[in-house]
Amino acid sequence: MLSAFVNSFKIQELRQRILFTFGVIFLCRLLSNIPIAGVDFGMINAYIRQTGTGGGFLDIFNLFSGGAVKNCAVGALGIMPYISASIIIQLMTAVVPFLEKLAREGESGRAKITQYTRYLTVLLCAFQGFLIARALETGNLYFPAAVVQIPGLGFDLLTMMTLVTGTLLMMWLGEQITERGIGNGISMIITINIISRLPTATAAMISMFKPVDGVIRHSPFMAVAMLIMILAVIAGVVAVTQAQQKVPVQYAKRVVGRKVYGGQHTFMPLRVNYAGVMPIIFAQAILMFPAKIFNMMPWAAAKRIGSALSYGTGFYMALFALMILFFSYFWVATQFNPVQIADDLKKYGGYIPGIRPGKSTAEFLDRTMTRITLAGAVFLTIIAVLPTVISKQFNIPFLVASFFGGTSLLIMVGVMLDTMRQIESHLLMRHYDGFLKKGKLKSGRR
pLDDT, tens digit, 9 for 90 and up, residues 170-195: 989 988 998 888 888 888 888 888 88
Residue 404 has pLDDT above 60, yes or no: yes
Q: Coil, strand, or helix at residue 123?
A: helix
| CA-based torsion, 89, 242, 80, 278: positive or negative | positive
The packing angle between helices 80-95 and 278-286, to 10°, is 100
Alpha-carbon distances, residue 190 vs 79, 115, 132, 409, 432 (angstroms): 7, 22, 20, 11, 30
Strand partners, 268: 247
Closest CA to 121 of 67, 200, 175: 175
Element at 165 (helix H, strand E):
helix 153-180
Residue 446 has pLDDT above 50, yes or no: no
Length of the chain: 446
pLDDT of residue 296: 74
Distance CA 9, CA 4 (A): 9
Average pLDDT over residues 21-49: 80
Closest CA to 282 of 230, 319, 252: 319
pLDDT of residue 432: 60
Residue 38 has pLDDT above 70, yes or no: yes
pLDDT of residue 49: 57
Residue 409 has pLDDT above 70, yes or no: yes
Distance CA 409, CA 363 (A): 34
pLDDT of residue 58: 64
Closest CA to 384 of 309, 243, 270, 287: 287
Distance CA 309, CA 296 (A): 13
Residue 82 confidence class, pLDDT cut points 50, 70, 90: confident
pLDDT of residue 102: 84
Q: Which of 44-58, 114-128, 159-173, 182-196 has the lowest mean pLDDT?
A: 44-58
Residue 438 has pLDDT above 60, yes or no: no
Residue 56 has pLDDT above 70, yes or no: no
Residue 23 confidence class, pLDDT cut points 50, 70, 90: very high
pLDDT of residue 260: 61
Element at 256 (helix H, strand E):
strand 254-256
Distance CA 384, CA 410 (A): 9
Residue 435 confidence class, pLDDT cut points 50, 70, 90: low
370 or 145, which is more confident:
370
| CA-based torsion, 275, 281, 282, 283: positive or negative | positive
Alpha-carbon distances, residue 13 vs 18, 195, 258, 419 (angstroms): 9, 26, 42, 15
Q: Is the Cβ–Cβ distance between 399 and 59 less than 8 Å?
A: yes
Residue 255 confidence class, pLDDT cut points 50, 70, 90: low
Domains and CATH numbers, the chain: 1-196+411-446 (1.10.3370.10), 217-404 (1.10.3370.10)
58 or 425, which is more confident:
425
Element at 211 (helix H, strand E):
strand 211-212
Distance CA 274, CA 29 (A): 31
Distance CA 93, CA 335 (A): 10
Strand partners, 254: 261
The amino acid that residue 36 corresponds to is: I
Residue 48 has pLDDT above 80, yes or no: no
